[in-house]
Amino acid sequence: MAYIFPCFLCLSFLLILSLASASPPFTITLSLSPITHSLASTNSRDHVSDIAKFTIQRACHLKTPHKKPSPVLHGSAQTPLYPKSYGGYSVSLAFGTPPQKIPLVFDTGSSLMWVPCTKSYTCDNCTFSHINPNKIATFKLRRSATFRIVDCRSPKCEWLYESDVRARCPGSRPQPCPTYLMQYGLGSTSGRPITENLDLPGNIVVEDFFLGCSVYSVQQPQGIAGFGRAPASLPNQLKLRKFSYCLLSHNFDDKPKSSALTLIGTKSSCAGRVHGVKYTPLLKNPSKSPYDEYYYIHLTKITVGESKTKVKLPSKFLVPSPNGNGGTIVDSGSTFTFMDPALYGPLIKEMAAQTRNYKRVHDVEVQSGFGLCYDILDARNVSFPRLVFHFKGGVKMELPVANYFSFMTDLGVWCLTIVSPSSPAGPSVPVGPAIILGNYQQQDFYIEYDLEHQRLGLKKQKCK
Ligand SMILES: *[C@@H]1O[C@H](CO)[C@@H](O)[C@H](O)[C@H]1NC(C)=O
Ligand SMILES: *[C@@H]1O[C@H](CO)[C@@H](O)[C@H](O)[C@H]1NC(C)=O
C-alpha cells in the first residue's frame, strides 16, 4: 500500500530540530581516536588509487556510450551527493526539456521519486536550517516540453496503487492516475503522477521516467529521490545492476563538498568492482508493503570494546518475522541509527560498563533523547570502547569513533549517536524494522547495493 510510507526521515528531522533550537546545529568538533588516526601516511597512496578509479570509470563510460534516450540506464553514471544541514544527503537530478536541475533527498528508505512542482508549490514547516533558510527549488512544469500526465491504465499508476488501482480508476475511459498522498511519519507530500525525461551526467537521457509532481508538502526539506526496493524507485525504473556511495562525514552544514553516487546500469562494461568489499545478503521481508521496499540485512551480533564483548540481543528482533516485524534496514534518509529499546538497552548497558573514565550526565540524556551522554572536561584526548556491527557472511562494520560518539555543541556533552524511543520498556515484540542503520553510521564506508546479486557490499574507506 503506497499511502503509508513510514519513512524514517521524520525521526531524524525531529532530532535535528530539537537540537537546532539554539543557533547553529551541533557540530562535531573532533574525532580523536586510536582508530581513526592513521591517515597522514596513506594520503599519497589514496590519491594514486583515486586516479586509477577515475580512469577506470571514464573508460567504462567511453566503452558503453548511451546514445539514444531509453527508459533504462545502459552503461553507468555518476552524480554528486552533498551532506546537508537537515541531516541527510542531497542528490541533484535534472528533469524535463530543457533540463531543470532539482536537489532531492537521497533516500534508500522510500521509493517514490517526487519533486516540488509548479510555481504554486507550498510547503508547511519546511525550514530545517538556520544557515540556509527555506528556499526550495521547484520544477516548473510549464517550461518543459516533455512532461506527460500518467494515465490510469498505465502500469506506472499501478506502482502507486497496487491492487487498489482498479477501484481508483473505474471504467475504461482514459483518465489521469489519481493524486497521491504520501505519509512520511510526521511529514507528507501530495501531487500528481507524471512522466518526464531524466537527464543524468554524461549526456544520458532516460525517457518516460515516473515522477511525482508535488504541489503540497509538510516537513520536507526538498523533494525525495526514492532509492528503495519498490517498482517506482530510481534503481528499479532504470533497471540498475547496482548503485554505490561513500558518504562524506557531515557537519550539518551546507558546504558545497560532495562525494559520488555511482549508478551501474544494464550492458555496462564496467562491473564497478571495488577491491576489498565484503558482502552480506540483502534479505526479502516476508510480509508485503511497506516493509518489502526496505533493504534488509542480517545483523548477527554487536561487540563492544577491545575484549569484543558480545552485547546480549534478543534474537527475535534481529530477523524479520513472518508478519514482517524485526530485522535491520539500511536507510540513507535517517540521520542517526535507530534501535528498538529491546536492543538499545543492552547496548547502552555494555557501552556504559566499559566507559568508566567519564562522568555520565543522565539529565542531559533525558532532555535530549540521546541515551548515553558524558561530560568530558579534557576533550583533547577522548576515547570510547570500540563498536562493531557484525553481519551475516562474516561482514564486520567497525565504526570509526566519530560515527557513534559526537560532541553536541548545544548540550556541551558527548553523546552516543544512536537513538531509541524514550520509553525504557518498549514492546516485547518489534513493530517494523528493529534497527534502522542511519547515514551517520554509514559515513566513511563504501556501500554498494548489488541488486543483481541481492547483496550489500561494505568497506571502510575515507570518502573524499
Ligand atoms: C507546523 O508546526 C507547528 C508547531 O510544531 C504545528 O502546530 C503545526 O500543526 C504544523 N503544521 C502542519 C501543517 O503540520
Ligand atoms: C591520552 O589518554 C591515554 C589513556 O587514558 C594516556 O595514556 C595518554 O597519555 C593521554 N594523552 C594525552 C596527550 O593526554
Band (50; pLDDT cuts 50, 70, 90): low
Cα–Cα dist 442/255, whole Å: 19
User: Does 309 lie in the same domain as 245?
Assistant: no
User: Does 344 lie in the same domain as 259?
Assistant: no
In a domain, 202, yes or no: yes
- Is 199 tagged catalytic? no
Q: How far apart, in Å, are the Cα atoms of 192 and each of 154, 199, 358? A: 14, 21, 54
User: Does 284 lie in the same domain as 176?
Assistant: no
Atom from ligand 1 closest to the CA of residue 219: 14
The protein residue with its alpha carbon nearest to ligand 1, atom 13, reads 124
**What domain range is 406 assigned to?**
278-458
**235, 264, 293 — which closes off a domain?**
264
Q: Tell me which residue of 118, 176, 119 sits closest to 151, measured CA to CA.
A: 176
- Overall size of the chain counted in residues: 464
The protein residue with its alpha carbon nearest to ligand 1, atom 2, reads 125
| Res. 299: pLDDT tops 80 | yes
In a domain, 204, yes or no: yes
In a domain, 293, yes or no: yes
Best of 10, 125, 184 for a ligand 1 pocket test (most atoms within 8 Å of beta carbon): 125
pLDDT of residue 267: 75
The protein residue with its alpha carbon nearest to ligand 1, atom 9, reads 125
Cα–Cα dist 422/290, whole Å: 25
User: Does 321 lie in the same domain as 187?
Assistant: no
Q: Are 58 and 194 in contact (CB under 8 A)?
A: no
User: Does 340 lie in the same domain as 375?
Assistant: yes
The protein residue with its alpha carbon nearest to ligand 1, atom 10, reads 125
Ligand 1: distance of its center to the CA of 92 in Å?
Answer: 28
pLDDT tens for each residue of 372-390: 999 998 778 889 999 999 9
Pocket lining for ligand 1, CB < 6 angstroms: 124-125, 218
Beta bridge partners of 260: 80
Ligand 2: distance of its center to the CA of 289 in Å?
Answer: 51
User: Does 33 lie in the same domain as 169?
Assistant: yes
In a domain, 45, yes or no: yes
pLDDT tens for each residue of 147-177: 999 999 999 999 999 888 888 999 888 999 9
Ligand in closest contact with the CA of 382: 2
**232, 264, 296 — which closes off a domain?**
264
Ligand in closest contact with the CA of 127: 1
The protein residue with its alpha carbon nearest to ligand 1, atom 8, reads 125
Atom from ligand 1 closest to the CA of residue 125: 1
The protein residue with its alpha carbon nearest to ligand 1, atom 6, reads 125
The one catalytic residue among 199, 331, 340, 444: 331
CATH number reported for the structural domain that contains residue 296 in this entry: 2.40.70.10
Ligand in closest contact with the CA of 33: 2
Atom from ligand 1 closest to the CA of residue 124: 13
User: Does 255 lie in the same domain as 302?
Assistant: no
Mean pLDDT, range 141-149, rounded to an integer: 96
Number of domains the chain contains: 2
User: Does 130 lie in the same domain as 42?
Assistant: yes
pLDDT tens for each residue of 169-215: 998 889 999 999 999 877 999 999 999 999 999 889 999 999 999 99
Backbone phi and psi for residue 102, each to the nearest 5 degrees, phi listed first? -125, 125
pLDDT tens for each residue of 335-359: 999 999 999 999 999 999 999 999 9
Ligand 2: distance of its center to the CA of 37 in Å?
Answer: 14
pLDDT tens for each residue of 73-89: 988 999 999 999 889 99
- Whether the bond between 98 and the residue before it is cis, its omega within 30 degrees of 0, is yes
Radius of gyration (Cα) for the chain, nearest Å?
Answer: 22
In a domain, 272, yes or no: no
User: Does 437 lie in the same domain as 292?
Assistant: yes
- Is 331 tagged catalytic? yes
Ligand 1: distance of its center to the CA of 116 in Å?
Answer: 19
Ligand 2: distance of its center to the CA of 215 in Å?
Answer: 56
User: Does 292 lie in the same domain as 228?
Assistant: no
Band (368; pLDDT cuts 50, 70, 90): confident
Best of 18, 124, 190 for a ligand 1 pocket test (most atoms within 8 Å of beta carbon): 124
Cα–Cα dist 438/109, whole Å: 10
pLDDT of residue 273: 75
In a domain, 271, yes or no: no
Mean pLDDT, range 93-106, rounded to an integer: 97
- Whether the bond between 286 and the residue before it is cis, its omega within 30 degrees of 0, is no
Which helix (H) or strand (E) element contains residue 18? helix 9-19
The one catalytic residue among 107, 199, 340, 444: 107
User: Does 134 lie in the same domain as 52?
Assistant: yes
**217, 240, 264 — which closes off a domain?**
264
Ligand 2: distance of its center to the CA of 381 in Å?
Answer: 6
In a domain, 319, yes or no: yes
Ligand in closest contact with the CA of 357: 2
Identity of the amino acid at 353: A
Average pLDDT across the chain, whole number: 84
SS3 of the chain: the string is CCCECCCCHHHHHHHHHHHCCCCCCCCCCCCCCCCCCCCHHHHHHHHHHHHHHHHHHHHHHHHCCCCCCECCCECEEEEEEEECCCCCEEEEEEECCCCEEEEEEEECCCCCCEEEECCCCEEECCCCCCCCCCCCCCECHHHCCCCEECECCCHHHHHHHHHHHHHHCCCCCCCECCCEEEEECCEEEEEEEEEEEEEECCCEEEEEEEEEEEEEEECCCCEEEECCCCCCCHHHHCCCCEEEEECCCCCCCCCCCCEEEEEECECCCCCCCCCCCEEEECECCCCCCCHHHCCEECEEEEEECCCCEECCCCHHHCCCCCCCCCCEEECCCCCCEEECHHHHHHHHHHHHHHCCCCEECHHHHHHHCECCEEECCCCCCCCCCCEEEEECCCEEEECCHHHCEEEECCCCEEEECEECCCCCCCCCCCCCCCEEECHHHHCCEEEEEECCCCEEEEEECCCC
In a domain, 31, yes or no: yes
pLDDT tens for each residue of 257-266: 999 999 999 8
Ligand 1: distance of its center to the CA of 125 in Å?
Answer: 6
The protein residue with its alpha carbon nearest to ligand 1, atom 5, reads 125
User: Does 226 lie in the same domain as 140?
Assistant: yes
Beta bridge partners of 279: 457
